[in-house]
Protein backbone atom coordinates (compact mmCIF):
# COMPACT_ATOMS: atom_id res chain seq x y z
CA UNK A 1 0.00 0.00 0.00
CA UNK A 2 2.93 2.31 0.86
CA UNK A 3 4.51 1.44 -2.46
CA UNK A 4 1.19 2.28 -4.11
CA UNK A 5 1.16 5.67 -2.43
CA UNK A 6 4.75 6.35 -3.50
CA UNK A 7 3.81 5.57 -7.07
CA UNK A 8 0.76 7.83 -6.96
CA UNK A 9 0.89 10.44 -9.67
CA UNK A 10 -1.58 13.32 -9.62
CA UNK A 11 -1.15 13.82 -13.36
CA UNK A 12 -1.97 10.16 -14.07
CA UNK A 13 -4.96 10.31 -11.72
CA UNK A 14 -6.33 13.44 -13.42
CA UNK A 15 -5.75 11.96 -16.88
CA UNK A 16 -7.58 8.73 -15.96
CA UNK A 17 -10.50 10.52 -14.31
CA UNK A 18 -10.73 13.56 -16.56
CA UNK A 19 -14.28 12.80 -17.72
CA UNK A 20 -15.46 12.30 -14.16
CA UNK A 21 -13.86 15.51 -12.87
CA UNK A 22 -15.05 17.67 -15.76
CA UNK A 23 -18.49 16.05 -15.42
CA UNK A 24 -18.67 17.06 -11.75
CA UNK A 25 -17.65 20.61 -12.67
CA UNK A 26 -20.28 20.65 -15.47
CA UNK A 27 -23.03 19.70 -13.00
CA UNK A 28 -21.89 22.19 -10.37
CA UNK A 29 -21.56 24.76 -13.17
CA UNK A 30 -25.21 24.18 -14.05
CA UNK A 31 -26.25 24.97 -10.48
CA UNK A 32 -24.09 28.12 -10.48
CA UNK A 33 -25.73 29.16 -13.76
CA UNK A 34 -29.19 28.76 -12.17
CA UNK A 35 -28.11 30.85 -9.18
CA UNK A 36 -26.60 33.62 -11.33
CA UNK A 37 -29.69 33.72 -13.55
CA UNK A 38 -31.94 33.84 -10.49
CA UNK A 39 -29.98 36.67 -8.89
CA UNK A 40 -29.96 38.61 -12.17
CA UNK A 41 -33.75 38.30 -12.32
CA UNK A 42 -34.03 39.56 -8.73
CA UNK A 43 -31.96 42.61 -9.74
CA UNK A 44 -34.22 43.11 -12.78
CA UNK A 45 -37.31 43.07 -10.55
CA UNK A 46 -35.80 45.85 -8.47
CA UNK A 47 -34.64 47.87 -11.48
CA UNK A 48 -38.00 47.75 -13.29
CA UNK A 49 -40.18 48.31 -10.23
CA UNK B 1 -61.11 -5.07 -24.82
CA UNK B 2 -61.32 -4.74 -21.03
CA UNK B 3 -64.47 -6.80 -20.97
CA UNK B 4 -62.73 -9.67 -22.70
CA UNK B 5 -59.73 -9.53 -20.33
CA UNK B 6 -59.65 -12.34 -17.79
CA UNK B 7 -57.67 -11.75 -14.61
CA UNK B 8 -55.80 -14.80 -13.37
CA UNK B 9 -56.71 -15.66 -9.76
CA UNK B 10 -53.92 -15.19 -7.24
CA UNK B 11 -51.96 -18.24 -6.23
CA UNK B 12 -50.00 -19.08 -3.11
CA UNK B 13 -46.91 -18.93 -5.32
CA UNK B 14 -47.65 -15.22 -6.03
CA UNK B 15 -47.62 -14.48 -2.30
CA UNK B 16 -44.51 -16.62 -1.83
CA UNK B 17 -42.62 -14.66 -4.53
CA UNK B 18 -43.57 -11.31 -2.98
CA UNK B 19 -42.78 -12.49 0.56
CA UNK B 20 -39.45 -14.03 -0.40
CA UNK B 21 -38.30 -10.84 -2.13
CA UNK B 22 -39.37 -8.82 0.92
CA UNK B 23 -36.83 -10.78 2.98
CA UNK B 24 -34.04 -8.90 1.17
CA UNK B 25 -35.62 -5.55 2.01
CA UNK B 26 -35.82 -6.68 5.63
CA UNK B 27 -32.09 -7.50 5.69
CA UNK B 28 -31.19 -4.10 4.18
CA UNK B 29 -33.38 -2.33 6.76
CA UNK B 30 -31.63 -4.28 9.51
CA UNK B 31 -28.30 -3.00 8.20
CA UNK B 32 -29.61 0.60 7.97
CA UNK B 33 -30.79 0.44 11.60
CA UNK B 34 -27.47 -1.01 12.77
CA UNK B 35 -25.23 1.75 11.40
CA UNK B 36 -26.37 4.61 13.73
CA UNK B 37 -24.85 2.60 16.60
CA UNK B 38 -21.46 3.96 15.46
CA UNK B 39 -22.81 7.51 15.86
CA UNK B 40 -24.26 6.62 19.28
CA UNK B 41 -20.86 5.31 20.43
CA UNK B 42 -19.07 8.38 19.03
CA UNK B 43 -21.36 10.82 20.88
CA UNK B 44 -21.55 8.72 24.09
CA UNK B 45 -25.27 8.06 23.62
CA UNK B 46 -25.04 4.52 24.95
CA UNK B 47 -28.68 4.58 26.11
CA UNK B 48 -29.80 4.57 22.46
CA UNK B 49 -27.79 1.51 21.42
CA UNK B 50 -30.37 -1.06 22.61
CA UNK B 51 -33.08 0.69 20.54
CA UNK B 52 -31.04 0.32 17.35
CA UNK B 53 -30.09 -3.25 18.24
CA UNK B 54 -33.75 -4.19 18.83
CA UNK B 55 -34.86 -2.62 15.52
CA UNK B 56 -32.00 -4.22 13.63
CA UNK B 57 -32.50 -7.65 15.24
CA UNK B 58 -36.25 -7.66 14.50
CA UNK B 59 -35.49 -6.79 10.86
CA UNK B 60 -32.90 -9.56 10.48
CA UNK B 61 -35.11 -12.15 12.23
CA UNK B 62 -38.12 -11.22 10.07
CA UNK B 63 -35.92 -11.35 6.98
CA UNK B 64 -34.65 -14.81 7.95
CA UNK B 65 -38.18 -16.10 8.60
CA UNK B 66 -39.40 -14.82 5.21
CA UNK B 67 -36.31 -16.20 3.46
CA UNK B 68 -36.50 -19.70 4.92
CA UNK B 69 -40.26 -20.23 4.93
CA UNK B 70 -41.02 -18.62 1.56
CA UNK B 71 -37.88 -19.60 -0.37
CA UNK B 72 -38.56 -19.84 -4.08
CA UNK B 73 -36.58 -19.74 -7.28
CA UNK B 74 -39.56 -18.59 -9.32
CA UNK B 75 -39.04 -15.46 -11.42
CA UNK B 76 -40.89 -12.28 -10.53
CA UNK B 77 -43.48 -10.95 -12.95
CA UNK B 78 -44.33 -7.26 -13.23
CA UNK B 79 -47.33 -7.62 -10.88
CA UNK B 80 -45.08 -9.19 -8.21
CA UNK B 81 -42.50 -6.43 -8.58
CA UNK B 82 -45.08 -3.66 -8.25
CA UNK B 83 -46.76 -5.29 -5.25
CA UNK B 84 -43.36 -6.02 -3.67
CA UNK B 85 -42.31 -2.36 -4.08
CA UNK B 86 -45.61 -1.11 -2.65
CA UNK B 87 -45.39 -3.39 0.38
CA UNK B 88 -41.62 -2.80 0.83
CA UNK B 89 -42.15 0.94 1.14
CA UNK B 90 -44.53 0.28 4.07
CA UNK B 91 -42.66 -2.65 5.56
CA UNK B 92 -39.23 -0.96 5.80
CA UNK B 93 -40.54 2.29 7.39
CA UNK B 94 -42.53 0.23 9.89
CA UNK B 95 -39.33 -1.55 10.97
CA UNK B 96 -37.38 1.72 11.05
CA UNK B 97 -39.98 3.33 13.28
CA UNK B 98 -39.10 0.88 16.10
CA UNK B 99 -35.92 2.66 17.36
CA UNK B 100 -37.48 6.09 16.72
CA UNK B 101 -40.47 5.15 18.91
CA UNK B 102 -38.39 3.38 21.59
CA UNK B 103 -36.10 6.42 21.96
CA UNK B 104 -39.04 8.52 23.12
CA UNK B 105 -38.37 11.19 20.50
CA UNK B 106 -41.92 11.02 19.19
CA UNK B 107 -45.25 11.53 20.94
CA UNK B 108 -46.87 8.27 19.75
CA UNK B 109 -46.18 5.12 17.68
CA UNK B 110 -48.23 6.65 14.85
CA UNK B 111 -45.96 9.72 14.88
CA UNK B 112 -42.89 7.45 14.78
CA UNK B 113 -44.36 5.65 11.71
CA UNK B 114 -45.12 9.03 10.11
CA UNK B 115 -41.52 10.17 10.69
CA UNK B 116 -40.16 6.94 9.30
CA UNK B 117 -42.33 7.01 6.15
CA UNK B 118 -41.44 10.68 5.68
CA UNK B 119 -37.78 9.65 5.96
CA UNK B 120 -37.83 6.64 3.65
CA UNK B 121 -39.88 8.41 0.98
CA UNK B 122 -37.63 11.47 1.11
CA UNK B 123 -40.49 13.77 2.04
CA UNK B 124 -39.22 15.65 5.08
CA UNK B 125 -42.48 16.51 6.82
CA UNK B 126 -41.85 15.97 10.51
CA UNK B 127 -43.89 15.35 13.65
CA UNK B 128 -40.85 15.50 15.96
CA UNK B 129 -41.78 17.85 18.78
CA UNK B 130 -38.22 18.98 19.59
CA UNK B 131 -35.59 18.33 16.90
CA UNK B 132 -33.11 20.75 18.50
CA UNK B 133 -32.84 18.56 21.62
CA UNK B 134 -33.15 15.20 19.89
CA UNK B 135 -30.25 12.79 20.51
CA UNK B 136 -27.69 12.92 17.72
CA UNK B 137 -27.84 9.23 16.85
CA UNK B 138 -31.63 9.29 16.41
CA UNK B 139 -31.33 12.52 14.44
CA UNK B 140 -28.64 10.88 12.29
CA UNK B 141 -31.00 7.92 11.70
CA UNK B 142 -33.72 10.26 10.36
CA UNK B 143 -31.26 11.71 7.83
CA UNK B 144 -29.71 8.34 7.04
CA UNK B 145 -33.17 6.91 6.28
CA UNK B 146 -33.64 9.62 3.65
CA UNK B 147 -30.26 8.94 2.05
CA UNK B 148 -30.66 5.17 1.99
CA UNK B 149 -34.40 5.14 1.27
CA UNK B 150 -34.80 7.93 -1.25
CA UNK B 151 -31.26 8.98 -2.11
CA UNK B 152 -30.25 5.54 -3.30
CA UNK B 153 -33.32 3.35 -2.85
CA UNK B 154 -33.74 0.30 -0.65
CA UNK B 155 -34.52 -1.92 -3.63
CA UNK B 156 -31.41 -0.68 -5.46
CA UNK B 157 -29.33 -1.52 -2.38
CA UNK B 158 -30.91 -4.94 -2.03
CA UNK B 159 -30.20 -5.65 -5.72
CA UNK B 160 -26.58 -4.55 -5.57
CA UNK B 161 -25.80 -6.58 -2.45
CA UNK B 162 -28.19 -9.49 -2.75
CA UNK B 163 -28.84 -9.33 -6.50
CA UNK B 164 -31.27 -11.80 -8.05
CA UNK B 165 -31.70 -12.89 -11.63
CA UNK B 166 -31.66 -10.24 -14.30
CA UNK B 167 -35.39 -10.41 -15.10
CA UNK B 168 -36.45 -10.19 -11.44
CA UNK B 169 -34.07 -7.28 -10.91
CA UNK B 170 -35.30 -5.32 -13.92
CA UNK B 171 -38.87 -5.67 -12.70
CA UNK B 172 -37.92 -4.75 -9.13
CA UNK B 173 -36.38 -1.55 -10.53
CA UNK B 174 -39.62 -0.69 -12.30
CA UNK B 175 -41.54 -1.26 -9.08
CA UNK B 176 -39.42 1.37 -7.32
CA UNK B 177 -40.19 3.85 -10.12
CA UNK B 178 -36.65 3.74 -11.47
CA UNK B 179 -35.60 3.29 -15.09
CA UNK B 180 -33.19 0.69 -16.26
CA UNK B 181 -30.76 1.35 -19.06
CA UNK B 182 -27.59 2.87 -17.63
CA UNK B 183 -25.73 -0.44 -18.01
CA UNK B 184 -26.81 -3.80 -19.40
CA UNK B 185 -26.30 -5.50 -16.03
CA UNK B 186 -28.77 -4.47 -13.35
CA UNK B 187 -26.34 -5.22 -10.51
CA UNK B 188 -23.77 -2.97 -12.18
CA UNK B 189 -26.43 -0.28 -12.67
CA UNK B 190 -27.32 -0.48 -8.97
CA UNK B 191 -23.67 -0.09 -8.02
CA UNK B 192 -23.28 2.91 -10.33
CA UNK B 193 -26.30 4.57 -8.69
CA UNK B 194 -24.76 3.95 -5.26
CA UNK B 195 -21.37 5.25 -6.46
CA UNK B 196 -22.89 8.46 -7.84
CA UNK B 197 -24.81 8.94 -4.57
CA UNK B 198 -21.75 8.46 -2.36
CA UNK B 199 -19.65 10.79 -4.53
CA UNK B 200 -22.17 13.63 -4.35
CA UNK B 201 -22.63 12.94 -0.64
CA UNK B 202 -18.90 13.59 -0.17
CA UNK B 203 -19.03 16.77 -2.28
CA UNK B 204 -22.16 18.01 -0.47
CA UNK B 205 -20.68 17.29 2.95
CA UNK B 206 -17.54 19.25 2.04
CA UNK B 207 -19.59 22.23 0.78
CA UNK B 208 -21.86 22.33 3.85
CA UNK B 209 -18.93 21.85 6.25
CA UNK B 210 -16.94 24.72 4.71
CA UNK B 211 -20.06 26.92 4.77
CA UNK B 212 -20.68 26.02 8.43
CA UNK B 213 -17.10 26.79 9.46
CA UNK B 214 -17.33 30.05 7.51
CA UNK B 215 -20.38 30.94 9.64
CA UNK B 216 -18.50 30.26 12.88
CA UNK B 217 -19.55 26.68 13.74
CA UNK B 218 -16.85 24.54 15.29
CA UNK B 219 -15.48 22.04 12.72
CA UNK B 220 -17.01 18.97 14.42
CA UNK B 221 -20.48 20.51 14.53
CA UNK B 222 -20.09 21.85 10.98
CA UNK B 223 -19.18 18.36 9.75
CA UNK B 224 -22.07 16.65 11.58
CA UNK B 225 -24.61 19.19 10.29
CA UNK B 226 -22.98 19.09 6.84
CA UNK B 227 -23.07 15.31 6.56
CA UNK B 228 -26.74 15.19 7.57
CA UNK B 229 -27.78 18.02 5.26
CA UNK B 230 -25.79 16.57 2.37
CA UNK B 231 -27.60 13.24 2.87
CA UNK B 232 -31.03 14.86 2.86
CA UNK B 233 -30.13 17.46 0.23
CA UNK B 234 -28.94 14.85 -2.27
CA UNK B 235 -31.94 12.66 -1.43
CA UNK B 236 -34.11 15.76 -1.98
CA UNK B 237 -35.53 14.76 1.39
CA UNK B 238 -35.41 17.90 3.47
CA UNK B 239 -34.97 16.72 7.05
CA UNK B 240 -32.66 19.07 8.93
CA UNK B 241 -30.91 18.90 12.31
CA UNK B 242 -32.74 22.03 13.52
CA UNK B 243 -36.45 22.68 13.93
CA UNK B 244 -36.07 25.96 12.01
CA UNK B 245 -34.66 24.10 9.00
CA UNK B 246 -31.88 26.05 7.20
CA UNK B 247 -33.27 29.35 8.52
CA UNK B 248 -31.40 28.44 11.74
CA UNK B 249 -28.07 29.41 10.14
CA UNK B 250 -29.12 32.72 8.54
CA UNK B 251 -26.26 32.02 6.14
CA UNK B 252 -26.03 32.75 2.44
CA UNK B 253 -23.21 30.19 2.09
CA UNK B 254 -25.21 27.38 3.66
CA UNK B 255 -28.09 28.24 1.32
CA UNK B 256 -25.77 28.26 -1.73
CA UNK B 257 -24.41 24.82 -0.71
CA UNK B 258 -28.01 23.63 -0.34
CA UNK B 259 -28.99 24.91 -3.82
CA UNK B 260 -26.02 23.09 -5.41
CA UNK B 261 -26.82 19.76 -3.80
CA UNK B 262 -30.63 20.08 -4.23
CA UNK B 263 -30.37 20.68 -7.99
CA UNK B 264 -27.84 17.86 -8.44
CA UNK B 265 -30.16 15.53 -6.49
CA UNK B 266 -33.04 16.44 -8.80
CA UNK B 267 -31.16 15.40 -11.96
CA UNK B 268 -31.80 12.08 -13.74
CA UNK B 269 -29.37 9.20 -12.95
CA UNK B 270 -29.03 8.50 -16.68
CA UNK B 271 -27.98 12.14 -17.14
CA UNK B 272 -25.44 11.86 -14.29
CA UNK B 273 -24.04 8.74 -15.92
CA UNK B 274 -23.81 10.37 -19.35
CA UNK B 275 -22.23 13.63 -18.07
CA UNK B 276 -19.80 11.94 -15.67
CA UNK B 277 -18.88 9.54 -18.48
CA UNK B 278 -17.76 12.36 -20.76
CA UNK B 279 -20.96 13.50 -22.54
CA UNK B 280 -20.86 16.98 -20.99
CA UNK B 281 -22.95 18.66 -23.71
CA UNK B 282 -25.85 16.41 -22.67
CA UNK B 283 -26.46 18.65 -19.69
CA UNK B 284 -27.81 21.47 -21.89
CA UNK B 285 -29.31 19.35 -24.69
CA UNK B 286 -31.44 17.15 -22.46
CA UNK B 287 -35.18 17.91 -22.69
CA UNK B 288 -35.72 17.22 -19.00
CA UNK B 289 -32.94 19.57 -17.83
CA UNK B 290 -34.25 22.30 -20.13
CA UNK B 291 -37.80 21.97 -18.82
CA UNK B 292 -36.59 21.77 -15.20
CA UNK B 293 -34.46 24.91 -15.51
CA UNK B 294 -37.11 26.85 -17.43
CA UNK B 295 -39.89 26.03 -14.95
CA UNK B 296 -37.63 26.67 -11.94
CA UNK B 297 -36.46 30.08 -13.16
CA UNK B 298 -39.91 31.12 -14.42
CA UNK B 299 -41.62 30.12 -11.14
CA UNK B 300 -38.80 31.80 -9.16
CA UNK B 301 -39.34 35.01 -11.13
CA UNK B 302 -43.11 34.94 -10.59
CA UNK B 303 -42.83 34.27 -6.84
CA UNK B 304 -40.07 36.86 -6.32
CA UNK B 305 -42.01 39.52 -8.28
CA UNK B 306 -45.12 38.75 -6.23
CA UNK B 307 -43.19 38.92 -2.93
CA UNK B 308 -41.57 42.20 -3.97
CA UNK B 309 -44.85 43.80 -5.01
CA UNK B 310 -46.32 42.71 -1.66
CA UNK B 311 -43.55 44.67 0.08
CA UNK B 312 -42.23 41.64 1.97
CA UNK B 313 -38.65 41.54 0.73
CA UNK B 314 -37.23 44.84 -0.55
CA UNK B 315 -33.70 43.76 -1.62
CA UNK B 316 -32.38 41.54 -4.42
CA UNK B 317 -30.54 39.37 -1.89
CA UNK B 318 -33.66 38.74 0.22
CA UNK B 319 -35.72 37.97 -2.91
CA UNK B 320 -33.09 35.43 -3.96
CA UNK B 321 -32.72 33.87 -0.50
CA UNK B 322 -36.46 33.65 0.20
CA UNK B 323 -38.32 33.63 -3.14
CA UNK B 324 -35.94 31.77 -5.44
CA UNK B 325 -34.63 29.50 -2.68
CA UNK B 326 -38.12 28.31 -1.74
CA UNK B 327 -39.01 27.71 -5.40
CA UNK B 328 -35.82 25.65 -5.96
CA UNK B 329 -36.52 23.75 -2.73
CA UNK B 330 -40.11 23.08 -3.87
CA UNK B 331 -39.28 22.21 -7.49
CA UNK B 332 -36.50 19.80 -6.55
CA UNK B 333 -38.91 18.40 -3.91
CA UNK B 334 -36.34 18.85 -1.15
CA UNK B 335 -38.19 20.92 1.42
CA UNK B 336 -35.39 22.95 3.06
CA UNK B 337 -36.97 26.15 4.42
CA UNK B 338 -35.55 29.64 4.81
CA UNK B 339 -38.99 31.02 5.68
CA UNK B 340 -40.83 30.05 8.90
CA UNK B 341 -44.03 27.99 8.29
CA UNK B 342 -46.15 30.65 9.99
CA UNK B 343 -44.90 33.22 7.42
CA UNK B 344 -45.91 30.94 4.56
CA UNK B 345 -49.36 30.48 6.07
CA UNK B 346 -50.09 34.02 7.24
CA UNK B 347 -47.77 36.48 5.49
CA UNK B 348 -46.95 35.17 2.00
CA UNK B 349 -49.46 36.14 -0.72
CA UNK B 350 -51.79 33.41 -2.00
CA UNK B 351 -50.35 33.64 -5.54
CA UNK B 352 -46.87 32.63 -4.29
CA UNK B 353 -48.32 29.75 -2.25
CA UNK B 354 -50.15 28.45 -5.33
CA UNK B 355 -47.00 28.66 -7.49
CA UNK B 356 -45.04 26.77 -4.82
CA UNK B 357 -47.81 24.13 -4.70
CA UNK B 358 -47.64 23.73 -8.48
CA UNK B 359 -43.83 23.44 -8.36
CA UNK B 360 -44.10 20.72 -5.70
CA UNK B 361 -46.67 18.81 -7.73
CA UNK B 362 -44.59 18.97 -10.94
CA UNK B 363 -41.36 17.96 -9.17
CA UNK B 364 -37.84 17.27 -10.49
CA UNK B 365 -36.45 14.72 -12.94
CA UNK B 366 -37.66 11.20 -13.59
CA UNK B 367 -35.33 8.47 -12.33
CA UNK B 368 -33.81 10.86 -9.79
CA UNK B 369 -34.25 11.22 -6.04
CA UNK B 370 -36.99 13.83 -6.44
CA UNK B 371 -40.75 13.31 -6.36
CA UNK B 372 -43.78 14.78 -8.14
CA UNK B 373 -45.08 14.16 -11.67
CA UNK B 374 -41.53 14.75 -13.02
CA UNK B 375 -40.21 17.12 -15.64
CA UNK B 376 -39.70 14.48 -18.35
CA UNK B 377 -43.43 13.72 -18.28
CA UNK B 378 -44.28 17.43 -18.24
CA UNK B 379 -42.00 17.93 -21.28
CA UNK B 380 -43.47 14.91 -23.10
CA UNK B 381 -47.06 16.05 -22.43
CA UNK B 382 -46.23 19.59 -23.53
CA UNK B 383 -44.61 18.33 -26.76
CA UNK B 384 -47.58 16.09 -27.50
CA UNK B 385 -49.91 19.05 -26.95
CA UNK B 386 -47.89 21.09 -29.46
CA UNK B 387 -48.03 18.16 -31.91
CA UNK B 388 -51.80 17.92 -31.52
CA UNK B 389 -52.14 21.63 -32.29
CA UNK B 390 -49.88 21.23 -35.36
CA UNK B 391 -51.92 18.24 -36.48
CA UNK B 392 -55.14 20.30 -36.29
CA UNK B 393 -53.65 23.18 -38.28
CA UNK B 394 -51.89 21.18 -41.01
CA UNK B 395 -53.67 19.48 -43.96
CA UNK B 396 -55.15 16.04 -43.19
CA UNK B 397 -52.51 14.30 -45.33
CA UNK B 398 -49.61 15.84 -43.33
CA UNK B 399 -47.71 13.55 -40.95
CA UNK B 400 -46.51 15.10 -37.67
CA UNK B 401 -43.57 13.21 -36.21
CA UNK B 402 -42.26 14.19 -32.80
CA UNK B 403 -39.15 13.27 -30.87
CA UNK B 404 -37.26 14.51 -27.84
CA UNK B 405 -33.67 14.39 -26.64
CA UNK B 406 -33.15 12.49 -23.41
CA UNK B 407 -29.60 11.07 -23.41
CA UNK B 408 -30.47 9.91 -26.95
CA UNK B 409 -33.06 10.93 -29.55
CA UNK B 410 -36.32 9.26 -28.56
CA UNK B 411 -39.46 9.16 -30.73
CA UNK B 412 -42.54 10.64 -29.09
CA UNK B 413 -44.60 7.46 -29.22
CA UNK B 414 -48.20 7.02 -28.11
CA UNK B 415 -46.99 4.58 -25.44
CA UNK B 416 -44.73 7.22 -23.85
CA UNK B 417 -47.46 9.87 -23.99
CA UNK B 418 -50.05 7.48 -22.50
CA UNK B 419 -47.69 6.46 -19.69
CA UNK B 420 -46.98 10.10 -18.81
CA UNK B 421 -50.67 11.05 -18.93
CA UNK B 422 -51.75 8.14 -16.71
CA UNK B 423 -49.22 8.98 -13.99
CA UNK B 424 -50.03 12.71 -14.15
CA UNK B 425 -53.73 11.88 -13.86
CA UNK B 426 -53.07 9.60 -10.87
CA UNK B 427 -51.21 12.40 -9.10
CA UNK B 428 -54.01 14.89 -9.81
CA UNK B 429 -56.68 12.50 -8.46
CA UNK B 430 -54.73 11.96 -5.22
CA UNK B 431 -53.96 15.69 -4.96
CA UNK B 432 -57.67 16.54 -5.22
CA UNK B 433 -58.63 13.91 -2.64
CA UNK B 434 -55.89 14.97 -0.21
CA UNK B 435 -56.79 18.64 -0.53
CA UNK B 436 -60.48 17.93 0.10
CA UNK B 437 -59.68 15.85 3.20
CA UNK B 438 -57.43 18.61 4.58
CA UNK B 439 -60.11 21.26 3.92
CA UNK B 440 -62.58 19.04 5.79
CA UNK B 441 -60.32 19.40 8.84
CA UNK B 442 -60.95 23.15 8.82
CA UNK B 443 -57.86 24.46 7.03
CA UNK B 444 -57.98 27.08 4.25
CA UNK B 445 -57.98 25.96 0.60
CA UNK B 446 -54.55 27.32 -0.37
CA UNK B 447 -52.87 25.93 2.77
CA UNK B 448 -54.56 22.57 2.18
CA UNK B 449 -53.35 22.50 -1.43
CA UNK B 450 -49.85 23.46 -0.29
CA UNK B 451 -49.59 20.78 2.41
CA UNK B 452 -51.14 18.07 0.18
CA UNK B 453 -48.79 18.90 -2.71
CA UNK B 454 -45.90 18.77 -0.24
CA UNK B 455 -46.84 15.29 1.04
CA UNK B 456 -47.76 13.85 -2.38
CA UNK B 457 -44.72 15.34 -4.13
CA UNK B 458 -42.42 14.03 -1.34
CA UNK B 459 -41.29 17.61 -0.65
CA UNK B 460 -41.56 18.46 3.05
CA UNK B 461 -42.26 22.19 2.93
CA UNK B 462 -44.92 22.96 5.48
CA UNK B 463 -47.32 25.80 6.08
CA UNK B 464 -47.66 24.59 9.66
CA UNK B 465 -50.52 22.08 9.21
CA UNK B 466 -48.21 19.11 9.82
CA UNK B 467 -47.62 19.03 13.57
CA UNK B 468 -47.91 16.47 16.38
CA UNK B 469 -51.31 17.97 17.27
CA UNK B 470 -52.99 17.36 13.88
CA UNK B 471 -55.70 14.73 13.73
CA UNK B 472 -54.71 11.04 13.41
CA UNK B 473 -56.86 10.77 10.25
CA UNK B 474 -54.88 13.55 8.59
CA UNK B 475 -51.61 11.95 9.69
CA UNK B 476 -52.66 8.67 8.07
CA UNK B 477 -53.81 10.56 4.94
CA UNK B 478 -50.42 12.25 4.56
CA UNK B 479 -48.63 8.94 5.21
CA UNK B 480 -50.66 7.42 2.37
CA UNK B 481 -49.90 10.37 0.08
CA UNK B 482 -46.15 10.21 0.82
CA UNK B 483 -46.15 6.47 0.11
CA UNK B 484 -48.24 6.75 -3.07
CA UNK B 485 -46.18 9.71 -4.31
CA UNK B 486 -42.92 7.81 -3.86
CA UNK B 487 -44.25 4.84 -5.83
CA UNK B 488 -45.55 7.13 -8.60
CA UNK B 489 -49.11 6.01 -7.90
CA UNK B 490 -49.26 2.99 -10.25
CA UNK B 491 -47.79 0.43 -7.81
CA UNK B 492 -50.37 1.52 -5.22
CA UNK B 493 -53.26 0.88 -7.58
CA UNK B 494 -51.76 -2.52 -8.52
CA UNK B 495 -51.53 -3.43 -4.81
CA UNK B 496 -55.17 -2.40 -4.31
CA UNK B 497 -56.09 -4.53 -7.34
CA UNK B 498 -54.06 -7.43 -5.89
CA UNK B 499 -55.98 -7.21 -2.60
CA UNK B 500 -59.39 -6.86 -4.30
CA UNK B 501 -58.64 -9.86 -6.52
CA UNK B 502 -57.70 -11.92 -3.47
CA UNK B 503 -60.91 -10.88 -1.69
CA UNK B 504 -63.16 -11.59 -4.68
CA UNK B 505 -61.68 -14.81 -5.98
CA UNK B 506 -59.63 -16.07 -3.06
CA UNK B 507 -56.12 -17.47 -3.25
CA UNK B 508 -55.74 -20.72 -5.22
pLDDT 10s digits, B459-470: 999 989 999 999
pLDDT 10s digits, B197-213: 999 999 999 999 999 99
Q: Would you place residue B179 in the very low, low, confident or very high pLDDT band (cuts 50, 70, 90)? A: low
- Between these two residues, A20 and B165, which has the higher pLDDT value? A20
DSSP B263-279: HHHTS-HHHHHHHHTT-
pLDDT of amino acid B498: 81
SS3 for B175-202 is HCCCCCCCCCCHHHHHHHHHHHHHHHHH
Taking an 8 Å cut-off on Cβ atoms, the answer to whether B316 and A43 are in contact is: yes
Whether residue B67 lies within 8 A of chain A, CB to CB, comes out as no
CA distance, residue A14 to nearest chain B CA (Å): 14
Nearest-by-CA chain A residue for B284: A30
Instruction: Indicate whether B339 pLDDT > 60.
Output: yes
| Distance (Å, whole) CA B42 – CA B140 | 12
* Residue B143 pLDDT: 96
List residues of A whose CB lies inside 8 A of any B CB: 19-20, 22-24, 26-28, 30-32, 34-35, 37-39, 41-43, 45-46, 49
CB of B297 within 8 Å of a chain A CB? The answer is yes
Q: pLDDT band at residue B3, thresholds of 50, 70 and 90?
A: very low
Residues in CB range of B234: below 8 A, 6 or more apart: B147, B151, B197, B200, B201, B204, B261, B264, B265, B369
Contact B216, B249 (CB under 8 A): no
Contacts of B309 in chain A (CB under 8 A): 49
| pLDDT, tens only, B271-321 | 998 899 888 888 988 888 999 999 999 999 999 999 999 999 999 999 999
CA angle B492, B90, B63 (to 5 degrees): 125
Instruction: Please count the residue pairs, one from chain A and one from chain B, whose beta carbons lie less than 8 angstroms apart.
Output: 78
d(CA B171, CA B322): 41
Contact A26 B275 (CB under 8 A): yes
Note whether A19 contacts B301, CB cutoff 8 Å: no
- Nearest 10 degrees: Cα torsion B182, B186, B188, B190: 80
Amino acid sequence: MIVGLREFSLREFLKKNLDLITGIFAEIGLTVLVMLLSFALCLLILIFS
Amino acid sequence: MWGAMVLTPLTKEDLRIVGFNLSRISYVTGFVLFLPIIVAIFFNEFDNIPYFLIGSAISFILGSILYHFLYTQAEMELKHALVMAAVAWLFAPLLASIPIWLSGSMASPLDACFESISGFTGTGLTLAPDIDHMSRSINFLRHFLQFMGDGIGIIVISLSILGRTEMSSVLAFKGEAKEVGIRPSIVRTSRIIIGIGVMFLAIGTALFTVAGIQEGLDPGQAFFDGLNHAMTGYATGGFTVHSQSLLYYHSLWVEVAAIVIMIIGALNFNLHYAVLGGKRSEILRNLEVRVLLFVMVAFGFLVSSNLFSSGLYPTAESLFRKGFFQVISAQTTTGFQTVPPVHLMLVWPVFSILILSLAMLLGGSANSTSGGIKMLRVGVLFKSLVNEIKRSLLPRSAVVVGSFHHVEETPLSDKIIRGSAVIAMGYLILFTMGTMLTVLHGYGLEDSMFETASALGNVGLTSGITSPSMSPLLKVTYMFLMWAGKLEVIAVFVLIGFILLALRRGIK
